[in-house]
Amino acid sequence: MEEHLLKNAPTPRRQRALRSALSAAFRPALLTTGLPFALALAACSTVELPPASPVAGAGGAGAAMAGALAPSATPPGTLPPVALDEADGRPRAGLAAAAPASAPDDADADDASEADPAPAADAPAPAVLPPYDPLQPDTHVNLDDAQARTDLWKRVVAGFAIPDLDGPAVKEWEQWYSSRPDYVARMTARGSRYLYHITEEVEKRHMPTELALLPFTESAFNPQAMSVAKASGMWQFISSTGKDYDLTQNIFRDDRRDVLQSTRAALDYLQKLHDMFGDWQLALAAYNCGEGNVARAIARNQKKGLPTDYESLSLPAETRGYVPKLQAVKNIVLHPDAYGLALPALGNHPYFLSVPIERDVDVDTAARLAKVPIDEFRMLNPQLNKPVILAAGTPQVLLPYDNADDFVRAVEGHKGPLATWTAWVATKTMRPADAARQVGMSEAELRDVNHIPARMLVKAGSTLLVPRSASHTEDVSEQLAENAAMALAPDLPPTRRVNMRVARGGETVASVARRWHVAAADVAQWNHVSPTGKFSAGATAVLFIPRGATLARATPTRASTKVAARAPAKGKTVAGNARSGTHVAVSKAAHPVKAAAKASTKVVAKGGGGAATKSAAKTKARVAER
**Last-in-domain residue among 300, 315, 339:** 339
Residues 216 and 259 in one domain: yes
Q: Give yes or no for residue 548 having a pLDDT over 50.
A: yes
State residue 505's pLDDT score. 80
For the beta carbon of residue 255, count every other beta carbon within 10 angstroms.
25
Mean per-residue pLDDT, 405-416: 91
Taking all residues of the chain, what is their mean pLDDT, rounded to a whole number? 75
Residues 410 and 449 in one domain: no
State residue 506's pLDDT score. 86
DSSP string, 194-205: THHHHHHHHHHT
Mean per-residue pLDDT, 148-174: 92
State the distance between the two ends of the chain, measured CA to CA, in whole angstroms. Answer: 59
The beta-carbon contacts of 288-292 under 8 Å, at least 24 apart in sequence, are: 288/318, 288/319, 288/322, 289/315, 289/316, 289/318, 289/319, 289/322
Residues 158 and 305 in one domain: yes
Q: How far is CA 483 from CA 252, 393, 624, in A?
A: 9, 10, 34
Angle subtended at Cα 363 by Cα 344 and Cα 183, rounded to the nearest 5 degrees: 25
Q: Is residue 253 part of a domain?
A: yes
Residues 471 and 528 in one domain: no
State residue 551's pLDDT score. 59
Angle subtended at Cα 379 by Cα 387 and Cα 258, rounded to the nearest 5 degrees: 80
Residues 50 and 83 in one domain: yes
Residues 313 and 388 in one domain: no
For the beta carbon of residue 350, count every other beta carbon within 10 angstroms.
25
The highest-confidence range among 43-52, 417-426, 569-578, 615-624, by mean pLDDT, is 417-426
Residues 278 and 407 in one domain: no
Q: Is residue 146 part of a domain?
A: no
Q: Is residue 510 part of a domain?
A: yes
DSSP string, 175-196: HHHHT-HHHHHHHHHHHTTTHH
**Overall domain count for the chain:** 5
Catalytic residues: 218
Greater pLDDT, 47 or 149: 149
Q: Is residue 344 part of a domain?
A: no
**Last-in-domain residue among 490, 505, 525:** 490
362 close to 420: Cβ distance less than 8 angstroms: yes
Residues 183 and 282 in one domain: yes
State residue 53's pLDDT score. 37
State residue 603's pLDDT score. 33
Cβ neighbours for 297, distance < 8 A, ≥ 6 positions apart: 313, 314, 315
Q: Give yes or no for residue 269 having a pLDDT over 50.
A: yes
> What is the C-alpha to C-alpha distance for residues 401 and 404, in angstroms, rounded to an integer?
6
Greater pLDDT, 51 or 387: 387
**Last-in-domain residue among 339, 374, 399:** 339
Cβ neighbours for 444, distance < 8 A, ≥ 6 positions apart: none
Residues 518 and 619 in one domain: yes
Helix axes 291-304, 280-289, angle to 10 degrees: 120
Residues 313 and 401 in one domain: no
Q: Is residue 120 part of a domain?
A: no
State residue 130's pLDDT score. 67
Q: Picking from 19-33, 273-287, 288-302, 476-490, which range would have the lowest pLDDT averaged per residue? A: 19-33
Q: Give yes or no for residue 158 having a pLDDT over 50.
A: yes
Q: Is residue 458 part of a domain?
A: yes
Report DSSP state, residue 336. Answer: G
345 close to 194: Cβ distance less than 8 angstroms: no
Q: Give yes or no for residue 7 having a pLDDT over 80.
A: no
Nearest residue to 253 (alpha-carbon basis) of 484, 457, 68: 484
Q: Is residue 331 part of a domain?
A: yes
> What is the C-alpha to C-alpha distance for residues 335 and 467, in angstroms, rounded to an integer?
54
State residue 177's pLDDT score. 97
Outline where DSSP puts E strands in 15-106: 82-84, 91-95
Residues 78 and 179 in one domain: no
Range of the domain at 74: 2-115
State residue 296's pLDDT score. 97
The highest-confidence range among 249-263, 499-513, 546-560, by mean pLDDT, is 249-263
Residues 182 and 249 in one domain: yes
Q: Picking from 174-188, 523-537, 549-563, which range would have the lowest pLDDT averaged per residue? A: 549-563
Cβ neighbours for 448, distance < 8 A, ≥ 6 positions apart: none
Sign of the torsion formed by the C-alpha atoms of 452, 454, 458 and 459? negative
Mean per-residue pLDDT, 339-356: 93
Query: Please, which residues bridge with residue 171 across strands?
Result: none
Q: Give yes or no for residue 322 having a pLDDT over 90.
A: yes
541 close to 534: Cβ distance less than 8 angstroms: no
> What is the C-alpha to C-alpha distance for residues 441 and 468, in angstroms, rounded to an integer?
10
Q: Give yes or no for residue 137 having a pLDDT over 60.
A: yes
Mean per-residue pLDDT, 148-160: 87
Q: Give yes or no for residue 237 having a pLDDT over 90.
A: yes
Mean per-residue pLDDT, 334-353: 94
Distance of CA 108 to the CA centre of its chain: 56
Mean per-residue pLDDT, 146-165: 87
Mean per-residue pLDDT, 415-432: 92
How sure is the predictor about 122, in pLDDT bands with cuts at 50, 70 and 90? low
